Structure formats: structure tokens, C-alpha cells
């Protein structure tokens, strides 16, 4: 078992989790860009274009075009301005400081990459990224809700996980699907200490994994995922808290017994195994009734199942 941590880094003042010099220079950098208030819940940025200076520092991302799914063309909210989801990340393999992930993940590559799919399947094996994408890439705009109460709306490019599972053939005795992220301490400074048990691991029930909304994403905003967003392939489960969406996944295992999950193992009292978005169920240390939009900084009500209840509530009907 990983060491228990009583407080999560996100409740600490930023200066406590960030080298002071870096912290101060970042403040100056953001001030120079005209970015005033950083809030606990997210970057409160007034409008588009403010991050253009920082945006220019990204490595160019190869285009990844896909037809936009009509059913998922509109998530009922404006899209989060493109640079922001590349500048504010949770990816503890690199750092717990959301605003520094992009810098530390720059140049991160899993090469060669293969997605191992095994366990209770008819045809276990390794899939290349192209094998996954050949199953039919589409673009879908989804709302995204982190358990820390910040939220964004982004166009993912990906394939329903169901298509991957159908390709390998799920055996009848299967009940769950487990996801394992990469392990490479040479590239990921956060994996060289910190008391967490790497690699990151997550899981879904089989019916959740087979649900049409559940995506494996290889792109965002019509381009390949940047490293900080979970390149080359991540999971997206829009009705659950963001941490269920494992990044940089290298293995999918279909199982009979219920797999363990990273955050649920660390703090079962704070992060339930299923972690559906439930505005009426407060986190022990904060309310989940509202969320702060990355970009505008507006606080808006959180919806049951993150607004996807019509599609998924039947999975949980007793």
C-alpha cells in the first residue's frame, strides 16, 4: 500500500507545493501576460488570447482530424479556450502543481507505443495506435468535471472504448475493465518519489466500459494529445470525476473480480470506487454542488452525472 497522505497537495497554498523561486517567477510571467487572479479552483482568465504567449511555447501538435459526432457536437456550454487545457493539468507522474505539468511533460513520449489488451478476452494482444484509431475516430465535445470542482468543455478525438473491447472479444465471465498508465521514472519526475504507488491504475464496471459515452481519446481540438493531456491515449468518462480517466494508458485488462483504483486505495473515504459526479454528495472537505469553469472562472451548478444522467442513470437503477 502506498503511504497515506493526510492532506492533498491541492489544499496547500501554492507556495507550499512549488519551489519558491519558480512560484515567484511564474507569478511575474502570468502578470506579464495580463493574467491577474489565479484562484484555488482554476485559472480565472477573462477571455480568449490571453495565453497566446504561453501557447507559442508548445511543441506543434500533429493534426488529427475526425468527423464530429452529431450527437455530441454541443455540450451545452462554450468550449474552453484551447490553450487552457494544456496549461492546467492533473498528472501526478510529473508534478502535483497543475500549472507546471506542461513544462515537465514537454518531450514526453512513449515510443514505441502499444496498447496491451488482455485478461478475459478472446484475442489478447498489443494494439498500435493506428489499430485503435482505425476503429473509427470521431470528435465529441464533452463536459469534464474534476473532483476538485474545476471544469472544462473540450472536443476530444477518439474511439468509443466499446469498439476496442469488441475488437478483442470480451469473454462472458468478465465483469470489469482495468486501466494501467505508463511507468517511466526516467521521463516522469513524479514517479521518482512522492509516496504514490505507480503506475496509476483505474477501472470501470464492464457495462460502464461498454457505454457509448466512454472514449479512448488520442486527440483534442483536432490535434494529437499533447503530453500533459495524456498522450498518446487516455480514457474519458464524462459522467465521472476526472480522475477516473487514466492518462497515457498502456494496458487494458478485462477481469472477473473488481480491480483496485489509485485514489480509492489512497482515500476510500474521499474517493469512491465508482466516483460518479454527484452534486449532492459533498467531498469531506468541500461541496460538490458547484464547479468553477476553467477560462471564465464562473461558478456554475454541478449536474448529477455531470449532465449525462439521461444516458447513464439506467446503469445505476436499482
Ligand X SMILES: Nc1nc2c(c(=O)[nH]1)N[C@H]1C(S)=C(S)[C@@H](COP(=O)(O)O)O[C@H]1N2
Longest dimension (CA), the chain: 58
| 215-234 footprint of ligand X as x/- string (CB under 6 A) | --------------xx----
- Find the binder of ligand X among 80, 181, 218, 275 (CB under 6 A): 181
Verify binding: residue 295, ligand X, rule CB under 6 A: no
Query: Per CB under 6 A, does 139 bind ligand X?
Result: no
Query: How many beta carbons lie within 10 A of that of residue 78, not counting itself?
Result: 10
| Stretch 86-115 residues interacting with Mo ion (CB under 5 A) | 90
Beta-carbon contacts of residue 25 (< 8 Å; ≥ 6 apart): none
d(CA 204, CA 276): 11
| Partner interacting with residue 229 (select from ligand X, Mo ion, none; CB below 5-8 Å by kind) | ligand X
Number of residues that bind Mo ion (CB under 5 A): 5
Distance CA 209, CA 239 (A): 12
Binding-site string for Mo ion from residue 212 to residue 251, where x marks contact by CB under 5 A and - marks none: ------------------------------xx--------
* Residue 245 site contact among ligand X, Mo ion, none (CB < 5 to 8 Å, cut-off depends on kind): ligand X
Decide if residue 85 touches ligand X (CB under 6 A): yes
Residue 292's φ and ψ, nearest 5 degrees, are -105, 125
| Strands (E) located in 88-209 | 115-119, 125-127, 138-145, 150-160, 176-181, 201-205
Residue number with CB closer to ligand X (93 or 97): 93
Residue 264 binds what, of Mo ion, ligand X, none (CB under 5 to 8 Å, by partner type)? none
Nearer to ligand X, 120 or 154 (CB): 154
CA dist., res. 292 & res. 280, Å (int): 16
Site for ligand X in 154-173 (CB under 6 A): none
C-alpha–C-alpha distance, residues 182 and 213, integer Å: 24
The C-alpha angle with vertex 84 and arms to 86 and 82, in degrees rounded to 5, equals: 90
Residues lying near ligand X in the complex (CB under 6 A) are found at 85, 89-93, 146, 181, 200, 229-230, 242-243, 245-248
Contact residues toward Mo ion (CB under 5 A) are 90, 146-147, 242-243
Amino acid at each position: 500500500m502506498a503511504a497515506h497522505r493526510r492532506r492533498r497537495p491541492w489544499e496547500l497554498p501554492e507556495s507550499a507545493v512549488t519551489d519558491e523561486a519558480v512560484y515567484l517567477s511564474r507569478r511575474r510571467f502570468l502578470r506579464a501576460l495580463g493574467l491577474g487572479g489565479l484562484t484555488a479552483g482554476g485559472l480565472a482568465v477573462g477571455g480568449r488570447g490571453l495565453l497566446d504567449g504561453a501557447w507559442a511555447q508548445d511543441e506543434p501538435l500533429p493534426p488529427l482530424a475526425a468527423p464530429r459526432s452529431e450527437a455530441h457536437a454541443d455540450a451545452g456550454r462554450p468550449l474552453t479556450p484551447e490553450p487552457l487545457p494544456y496549461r492546467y493539468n492533473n498528472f501526478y507522474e510529473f508534478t502535483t502543481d497543475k500549472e507546471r505539468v506542461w513544462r515537465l511533460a514537454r518531450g514526453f513520449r512513449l515510443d514505441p507505443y502499444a496498447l496491451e489488451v488482455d485478461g478475459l478476452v478472446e484475442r489478447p494482444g498489443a494494439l498500435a495506435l493506428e489499430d485503435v484509431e482505425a476503429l473509427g475516430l470521431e470528435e465529441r465535445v464533452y463536459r469534464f468535471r474534476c473532483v476538485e470542482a474545476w471544469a472544462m468543455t473540450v472536443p476530444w478525438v477518439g474511439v468509443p472504448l466499446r469498439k476496442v473491447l469488441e475488437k478483442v472479444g470480451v469473454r462472458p465471465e468478465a465483469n470489469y475493465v482495468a486501466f494501467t498508465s505508463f511507468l517511466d521514472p526516467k521521463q516522469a519526475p513524479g514517479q521518482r518519489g512522492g509516496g504514490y504507488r505507480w503506475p496509476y491504475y483505474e477501472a470501470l464496471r464492464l457495462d460502464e466500459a461498454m457505454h457509448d459515452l466512454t472514449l479512448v481519446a488520442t486527440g483534442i481540438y483536432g490535434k494529437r494529445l499533447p503530453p500533459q493531456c495524456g498522450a498518446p491515449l487516455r480514457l474519458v468518462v464524462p459522467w465521472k470525476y476526472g480522475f477516473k480517466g487514466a492518462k497515457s494508458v498502456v494496458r487494458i485488462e478485462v477481469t472477473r473480480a473488481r480491480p483496485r483504483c489509485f485514489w480509492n486505495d489512497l482515500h476510500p473515504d474521499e474517493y469512491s470506487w465508482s466516483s460518479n459526479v454527484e452534486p449532492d454528495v459533498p467531498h469531506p472537505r468541500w461541496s460538490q454542488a458547484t464547479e468553477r469553469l476553467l477560462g471564465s472562472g464562473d461558478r456554475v451548478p454541478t449536474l448529477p452525472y455531470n449532465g449525462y444522467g439521461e444516458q447513464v442513470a439506467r446503469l445505476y437503477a436499482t
